[in-house]
Amino acid sequence: MFRSLIAFSLAAMATTALAGEPAPAAKGADEQRPKQLLLVSFDGAHDNRLWARSREIGQKANARFTYFLSCTTLIPRARAGDYKAPGIKAGRSNIGFAISTEEVGNRLDHIWKARSEGHEIASHTCGHFDGKDWTKADWLKEFEAFDRVLTNAWKDNGLADREPEGWADFVTQDITGFRAPYLSAPESLFLAEREHGFRYDASIVTHDPTLPVEKAGVARFGLPLIPEGPRERRIIAMDYNLFIRHSAGIDHPSKADEFAERSYQAFRSAFDRQYDGERIPLQIGLHFVEMNGGAYWTAMERLVTEVCPLPDVACVTYAEALDMLEGRTNPAAAPGAM
């Protein structure tokens, strides 16, 4: 039911605009160099098998991830009418709905366990609609729908007896970040994020890895364009974009090893460039979809298992990175950043 995520994203993500140039960071003495941060995130966070795999990778690699959760994955198809996106008929979603309450229960267990393991749950709204034309009020409506669905997820699925103590506080206090579907981020989004109380946004794209830029009370992280392939053409550091470049969005599992190696080399080169240089955090985004035979998950797993255990590397969540980077963030250093 999530195939439409790949199909619909092609046009929208292909036109994503750059949000600004990299923010330079001052070099200090070697002994004072900050840790190299690696931020790995997952959009959608639906497939329970990939929930289990990602948590296993995190435990093995000493890595903590950010999961940008889509809330329709907590609504069974039978109750699809409970959700209505701005300007869309009730019961519609670009990524479908859950198949059963059993599936939802397993997903909720993964969410709570991941949170307990130090991973971060953040918002990807609900139905994965392109909000480029949404008003501030539209975004706030979608944020409220996400909060309502997540807060009541156990009860609404007949699982109230399994709801963990502290779940409501988790929803209201721990979910502090957002990434827009299709990386579609109009100014109305940022205004709504500030009013809703989000600390950070992770929807923009930057030419190189850069420090987050705070504007109007919201820190803005940008996925970087990284060199990739024989000609080192830049591409958003995200699995979907690699999928489009490598195979035009058509699955070729027989080339999984080839695409995994290309992706790993791009990820590792981008990491080494920062590790050996300014130590600007590197961000890599994936989806809970195994494109091209899982090539991009394979590349990510190889990278994190190699670098995250290093003593001067920290593979952390966006929320953790925001705290760790507080002293380094300089809004004036990124002219043109949104």
**Confidence grade of residue 12 (pLDDT, cut at 50, 70, 90):** very low
pLDDT higher than 90, residue 285? yes
pLDDT-above-90 percentage for the chain: 86
- E strands along 48-172, which residues? 66-69, 120-123
pLDDT at 92 over 80: yes
Can you state the percent helix, strand and coil of the chain, rounding each to 5?
45, 15, 35
Please give the DSSP secondary-structure letter assigned to residue 320.
H
Long-range residue pairs from 244-251, CB within 8 A, at least 24 positions apart, any chain: 244/10, 244/13, 244/14, 246/292, 246/295, 247/292, 249/6, 249/7, 249/10, 251/291, 251/292, 251/293
Say if CB 41 and CB 318 are below 8 A apart.
Answer: yes
Both tokens assigned to 308 = 């995250």
Q: Phi/psi at 57 (nearest 5 deg)? A: -60, -45
Nearest to 338 by CA among 195, 180, 200, 222: 222
Strand pairing category for 213-215 and 218-228: antiparallel
Determine the 3-state secondary structure of 325 from DSSP. Answer: coil
Residue range 192-200: mean pLDDT, rounded: 98
- Given phi > 0 = left and psi -120 to 50 = alpha, else beta, which region is 138? alpha
Give the range among 23-32, 127-136, 145-154, 168-177 with minimum mean pLDDT. 23-32
Angle at CA 108, nearest 5°, toward 62 and 137?
100
pLDDT above 70 covers a percentage of the chain that reads 88
Max CA-CA distance within the chain? 60
Q: What is the pLDDT of residues 206-253, one digit of tens each?
A: 999 999 999 989 999 999 999 999 999 999 999 999 999 999 999 999
Q: What is the pTM of this model?
A: 0.89
User: Helices 187-196 and 136-151 sit at what angle, rounded to 10 degrees?
Assistant: 50
**10, pLDDT greater than 50:** no
For residues 286-301, average pLDDT: 98
Q: In 10 A of CB 335, how many CB atoms?
A: 10
What DSSP state is assigned to residue 16? P
DSSP H/E element including 102: helix 101-116
Least confident segment among 170-174, 215-219, 293-297: 215-219
Res. 37: pLDDT tops 70: yes
